[in-house]
Structure 1
Amino acid sequence: MGFYRKLSSQFYMYVFVFIFTTVLLQYFKSRTKLDTFVPLTHNNSVTRRLDNEHVKQDLKQRLHFVFPDFRRKSVLPLSCPLLFSGNSSEQKRAMIVKRVPKQLDYYQKQAKNCEHFKEDYITHPLTQEEKDFPIAYSILVYKDLAQVERLLRAIYRPQNYYCIHIDLKADRNFRKTLSLIANCFENVFITKISVNVQWGTFTVLEPELVCMEELWKYKTWKYFINLTGQEFPLRTNGELVKVLKIYNGTNDVSGTVKRANKQRWAKAGKPPAGILPGKGSVHITVNRHYVDYILHNQTAHDFLDWCNKTSVPDETYFASLNHNPQLGIRGSVNGYVEPYIMNSRFKNWGNLPCGGKVVRQICIFGIEDLPVLFGRSELFANKFYWDFQPLTLDCMEELLYNRTRDGYLNKMKFNSMLYENLQFLKNRT
């Protein structure tokens, strides 16, 4: 009898433990849906609790989105915070880290199950402000699919639009695999036309115009930003929206007459419509009306024909249109203001020490550039090589993730003063 009484008491104890454990797990599961976040930094707690009731209430008013736990949860072999602070010992260790990049067949297998593939992507607008401010992108690529996919993942939001131009020279399997990835998203597409891009010729400019044409049919986007596959964002999507709202329709297109090489235009004759040509970057951040003007205005077409007779037309076309106020392009600049400081892109042409390596006069960012990159206020950084000091991009991705998370939780203050005093905002037409 004592044996059965003992057995019965053990049974009830097990039942009690089971019920208690089940209730506890359900409690933590429900809490996790609201406030559990997995950062990429290895020195943070896996579970992050919201600090106060104000933040909790703010989250409940958001778009019913649970900040995703990216599948890249593996601990990096070094400390990104130390690398961003310029720790020399950590820098030496980071420079010898090697990476075996994921092969094309990996992405082909992953992209065959789109729902699974998109688990790494933010597939809901994080805030109403971002949802109401779509951005259009062109991305010109030709190699290093892993780097291209990482860039797309970093900037992807469902309200934005992404036009990808694959160079005609690109590997066939590269094209096939990237097309599979694009097919997983309604707002990502590959251009119908592929150009054989050659530096110094019209072919550098042509893919941008192709993407503008294909993006134009989407009626909601506010700004257009053009990228290459070797860039990475310095700002989160939420910060980009705040910056572009400060722009308030102003175009960010660099331009100079003093440093222009007029020999490039020697055989082209007189430009149309009294346009004073200048030199600038092909990388731009422009409003919808600027794109409309390029696509549908006869003066823009005539000037494009003129630029096609010059050398390096991509450095002339966008810049000249934005710095000739008589053309009436909204958000353009009132003439050439020297020097023009562009906020669209951070590039190191030798004006700062290069911690990576210099290729064709531009710095390829490396480990020792991370402290500089951390403090820059531009929108994007150009450029990175996938096979050069790979922890550089790893840490940039970690930084962007953490800033996105902290912005979403209202734990990071946006410094609007960095952008309200930009020179080109004071000289718009």
Structure 2
Amino acid sequence: MRFLLGYSSKPFILALVICVTYTFSYLLKTMYVSLFHNHVKVKGNPLFQDLVIAGLNRVFEDIKYDNDREKEINQTDDNFWGIPPELQLYSNRTVTKRRTQIQINIKRKYFLRDFRVDDVNCLELINRTREEVKRAKSIKRARLKDADYIEMTKNCPTFIKDRGYIMHYLTKEEESFPIAYSILMYQNVEQFERLLRAIYRPQNIYCIHVDFKSRETIHNAVSGIASCFDNVFLLRTRVSVKLGGMSVLEPDLKCMNELWSRSKTWKYFINLTGQEFPLRTNYELVKILKAYNGSNDVAATIQKDTERCDKPRAVAPPHGIHVTRGFVHVAVNRDFVDFTLHDERAQHILTWMNRSCYVPDEAYFSTLNHNPHFGVKGSFKGHPETSRNRRKPYIARFKNVVESEVYGWKCHGREINGLCVFGTADVRMLSVRKELFAHRFHLDYQPVAYECMEELIYNRTRDEFMGTLAFNASFYSTLGFVLGQG
């Protein structure tokens, strides 16, 4: 028998045993469940029967967990997007060129060691190992307080060094392609600061808005952080933001205006909240935005749009526009910002939406981008409906709107108002998403998810800088809103 099967057959025998075991378990479970559910009396110890059923349920829970994991991976990998091998994002490579002294110095200053999360194996979370996910969920972390930041930022050089900010542009390509950001925040200074650290580069520029309702210690702490950087500033005017109103849009418009006035070199504008985190390194963001070739990344739907702009006494939309709505969060070129701020038609539309639309923040940027007769650079000239595939996706942000056909995925964290707050079991999905940023995280809920994303982005930044990891942005140049721009 051993001669016929050979030693190489051991994996086959093991697989056969497993298959037979699962088949027997399934038949046994079916028998017991059938008997129990049909109220047939079964002789024997009831406790033993319960244990058998519990054990079989655990077996099938494990099988379902593995199946769900594989299904989720398949839905978010390159096959789902229809990406051919030549357009895959990452590839390892061997460094053949001798490193310059500047590269050596930067490595010594910023990338001397791997970033590793304490007490957790993030690679195991990415692989969604059941035991590691379960263990990571229970981990709690001590949080920095507002007063800690107020004290730390009294010595800016020490703060910048101790908190691990990268104060170099890293590559010439990144230096020549600065990005403008607005960040709207109202609570949790530490989460805001860690977001800023993840996206900070000296060539970029950052506008911060602290909600008027935020306590004064939050404003003071954020003000201290901003004072440590020449390219980070706070809006002087603070808005009391209320969901569903113009106040959601107002801080972004004010930041746009300040960013426009303060710098003439940035290429794209991205608006964030303090509860988000990047899925791409700064180098990758630059590569992607260049692949956009001037197009704007803005979500849109025309379904039920009139229901959002039919307030009492509402008048007809101005300038022959077709109203679309999407998300307020965008990635748009500098000319789009110029049009938004300075074109009279854009101002007329803003005034009309404020009077006529129930949720103007969802409609304003989306409508400006999907009415190509305005001639805005990068606007979309095709059918505006955002899709789940490459026809016209929304890449600026990954928002898991659980019940949505377009934006909904399985949520392994917790759901608040229909939106997924990411947890540790979501790290696998986040690690392979194609979007630029993910929304949303709460540091007081399964904080390891946030920490593992920090580890991933930091180590990718290092590997790309050192030349051991190559990033290919060609996929993004094939997206529908890039090919169909006006």
| TM interval, short-chain normalised | 0.7 to 0.9
Q: What's the counterpart of residue 291 of structure 2?
A: 246
Q: What's the counterpart of residue 39 of structure 1?
A: none
8 Å CA contact retained: 1:63, 1:128: no
Q: Of 390, 393, 396, which residue of structure 1 is paired with 2:447?
A: 390
Q: Does 1:257 align with 2:257?
A: no
Larger RCO (CA within 8 A; separation ≥ 6): 2
Q: Does 1:380 align with 2:426?
A: no
Residue 329 of structure 2 aligns with an amino acid whose one-letter code is H
Which residues in structure 2 correspond to 1:181-196 (within 5 Å)? 181-196=225-240
Q: What's the counterpart of residue 255 of structure 2?
A: 211
- What's the CA shift for 1:65? 3.2
Which residues in structure 2 correspond to 1:273-422 (within 5 Å)? 273-309=319-355, 310-338=357-385, 339=387, 340-350=392-402, 351-422=408-479
TM, length-normalised to structure 1: 0.85
Of 409-418 and 320-329, more deviation after overlay is shown by 409-418
Structure 1 residues 63 and 300 mapped into 2: Cα distance closer, same or farther (>3 Å)? farther
Q: Of 105, 108, 112, which residue of structure 1 is paired with 2:154?
A: 112
Q: Does 1:229 align with 2:274?
A: yes
Q: Does 1:201 align with 2:245?
A: yes
- What's the CA shift for 1:172? 0.4
Q: What's the counterpart of residue 7 of structure 1?
A: none
Q: Of 209, 213, 225, which residue of structure 2 is paired with 1:165?
A: 209
Q: Distance in 2 between matches of 1:73 and 1:103?
A: 23
8 Å CA contact retained: 2:122, 2:452: yes
Q: What's the counterpart of residue 136 of structure 1?
A: 180
- What's the CA shift for 1:410? 1.4
- What's the CA shift for 1:423? 1.4
| Greater helix proportion | 2
- What's the CA shift for 1:290? 0.4
Residue 257 of structure 1 aligns with an amino acid whose one-letter code is I
Give ranges in structure 2 of 5+ residues lacking alignment.
Answer: 1-92, 403-407
Give ranges in structure 1 of 5+ residues lacking alignment.
Answer: 1-50
Q: Cα RMSD over matched residues? A: 1.9
8 Å CA contact retained: 2:116, 2:455: no
Structure 1 residues 190 and 417 mapped into 2: Cα distance closer, same or farther (>3 Å)? same
Q: Of 120, 123, 126, which residue of structure 2 is paired with 1:81?
A: 123
- What's the CA shift for 1:63? 9.9
Q: Distance in 1 between matches of 2:115 and 2:454?
A: 12
Q: Distance in 1 between matches of 2:173 and 2:143?
A: 36
8 Å CA contact retained: 1:256, 1:336: no
Residue 344 of structure 1 aligns with an amino acid whose one-letter code is A
Q: Of 189, 196, 203, which residue of structure 2 is paired with 1:152?
A: 196
Q: Distance in 1 between matches of 2:459 and 2:379?
A: 35
Q: Does 1:102 align with 2:144?
A: yes
Q: Of 114, 133, 136, which residue of structure 2 is paired with 1:91?
A: 133
Structure 1 residues 161 and 71 mapped into 2: Cα distance closer, same or farther (>3 Å)? farther
Structure 1 residues 259 and 417 mapped into 2: Cα distance closer, same or farther (>3 Å)? farther
Q: Distance in 1 between matches of 2:475 and 2:104?
A: 29
Residue 420 of structure 2 aligns with an amino acid whose one-letter code is C
TM, length-normalised to structure 2: 0.75
- What's the CA shift for 1:61? 6.7
8 Å CA contact retained: 1:261, 1:279: no
Which residues in structure 2 correspond to 1:169-180 (within 5 Å)? 169-180=213-224
- What's the CA shift for 1:73? 6.5
8 Å CA contact retained: 2:181, 2:206: yes
Q: Distance in 1 between matches of 2:460 and 2:95?
A: 21
Q: What's the counterpart of residue 480 of structure 2?
A: 423
For residues 59-97 of structure 1, give each alpha carbon's deviation from its aligned partner in whole angstroms, at most 9, with x where no partner exists.
447596345159996751110010011010001100100
Q: Distance in 2 between matches of 1:73 and 1:316?
A: 40
